[in-house]
Amino acid sequence: MSSTVLILPGDGIGPEVMAQVRRLLDHLGGFDVREDLVGGAAYDAHGTPLTDETMAEAMAVDAVLLGAVGGPKWDTLPFADKPERGLLRLRKDMALFANLRPALVFDALAEASTLKTDLVRGLDIMIVRELTGGVYFGDPRGIEDLPNGERRGINTQVYTTHEIVRVARVAFDLARKRDSRVCSVEKANVMESGLLWREEVQALGDAEYNDVALSHMYADNCAMQLVRNPKQFDVIVTDNLFGDLLSDCAAMLTGSLGMLPSASLGAADAAGRRKALYEPVHGSAPDIAGQDKANPMACILSLSMMLRYSFDRGAEADLIEAACQDVLNAGIRTGDIVAPGMTPVGTRAMGDAVLAAM
């Protein structure tokens, strides 16, 4: 039986970068690939950022590959219709609680960082962001009219023991395969939910991961430390909202956002299979959409994460990663990572180069 993959290119540069991934998938073979709409594209076609049919498909396949969602065109839509709701529903309904966001500096691109090169050369952080809880999904929420004519906006940050422990476990397990260090990040000095987070992560570490060095850091300090000395981190585990900001900050430190993939994983079933969605860290970049300018590497490397985590096809994942390295070393660059002396290419030509290198 072949592996089933649902491709959701989404908005902006999503379709262009995903087109290159499709070529690679066809090249690799053995996949039953379906394609569907999400985000603004789904709203334009169906009046909703994710149809129930697409949601059902996502639940049925072995893995989902997503491009990007959102854009100014849909910025004024009511809250429930925004492109982002499509992505958030996928995360929630598939119960993808662990979002793995590597912040990795490719040797060939160390100069591309806005940070001084020494501080980032060889950087390799793994941020594990909780993805189905916290203020993103907590109730009560909404905007209400007050008797005095004002309005009040409410969201609820909420975490249970269970939610904290399962994502912390993912971080500890990953750390064991890396440098065995986990830094857990919250605002335990200000928020009770953060204090609970700290206590539960510490208890899990004490009980089951004595071989992993666990530290705790306030989120504001973490934002600082990422800029001051990013190489101090191995694995960072944090909640949905802090993870959103800190992983983007860390990604930007690498200087090559167009290179960074991510994986969102659910719980393992009896057979060890996890529901999973893979997507580039970058957004839909509407300003360059449709111009053959976008860097497809982040999306291509998301495919490689998929091969590794969802299909146990690690050799092919290695092959893709090596091909990307070769292409970079050969000086072939899209606009976002081009530098003097390099060969500037477009999205499709970058896809050609990766395919050729494989």
244 is in an annotated binding site: yes
Residue with tokens 């050369």: 121
Under rule CB under 8 A, residue 190 binds a second copy: yes
Comparing CA positions, the residue from 276, 274, 331 lying closest to residue 302 is: 276
Q: Which of 108, 131, 212, 252 binds a second copy (CB under 8 A)?
A: 252
Tell me whether residue 291 is annotated as binding: yes
**In contact, 57 and 36? CB cutoff 8 Å:** yes
Contact with ligand IPM (CB under 6 A) among 190, 267, 268, 339: 190
Per-residue string for binding with a second copy, 22-61, x by CB under 8 A? ----------------------------------------
Long-range contact pairs involving 110-117 (C-beta distance under 8 Å, separation at least 24): 110/255, 111/255, 111/339, 112/254, 112/255, 112/256, 112/337, 112/339, 113/253, 113/254, 113/255, 113/256, 114/252, 114/253, 114/255, 115/227, 115/230, 115/253, 115/255
Site mask for a second copy (CB under 8 A), range 200-239, x = bound: x------------------xxx-xx-xxxx----------
CB of 344 to a second copy, least distance (A): 20
Does position 322 interact with ligand IPM (CB under 6 A)? The reply is no
- For a second copy, the closer of residues 281 and 307 by Cβ is 281
Query: Is 176 known to sit in a ligand binding site?
Result: no
Q: Which does 27 bind (CB under 5 to 8 A by kind): a second copy, ligand IPM, none?
A: none
Q: What is the DSSP string of 233-280?
A: -SEEEE-HHHHHHHHHHHHHHTT-GGG-EEEEEEEE-TTS-EEEEEEE
User: Does residue 189 interact with a second copy by CB under 8 A?
Assistant: yes
334 neighbors 345 (Cβ within 8 angstroms): yes
For residue 318, give every residue at least 6 positions away whose Cβ sits within 8 Å of its Cβ, in sequence order, or none.
Answer: none
Exactly one of 26, 144, 206, 220 binds ligand IPM (CB under 6 A); that residue is 220
Tokens of 231: 């190489």
84 near ligand IPM, judged by CB under 6 A: yes
Q: Which does 161 bind (CB under 5 to 8 A by kind): ligand IPM, a second copy, none?
A: a second copy
List of residues 6+ apart from 356 with CB closer than 8 A: none
Compute the distance between CA of residue 188 and CA of residue 37 in angstroms, rounded to an integer: 40
Can you tell me the distance from the alpha carbon of 3 to that of 102, in angstroms, rounded to the nearest whole number? Answer: 25
| 187 labelled catalytic | yes
Active site residue 244: yes
Per CB under 8 A, which region of 28-36, 143-151, 309-317, 342-350 contacts a second copy?
Answer: 143-151
> Could you say whether residue 72 binds ligand IPM (CB under 6 A)?
no
Closer to a second copy by Cβ: residue 45 or 190: 190
Give the residue numbers annotated as catalytic, written as ranges: 136, 187, 220, 244, 248
Residues that bind ligand IPM (CB under 6 A): 69-70, 84, 87-88, 189-190, 220, 244
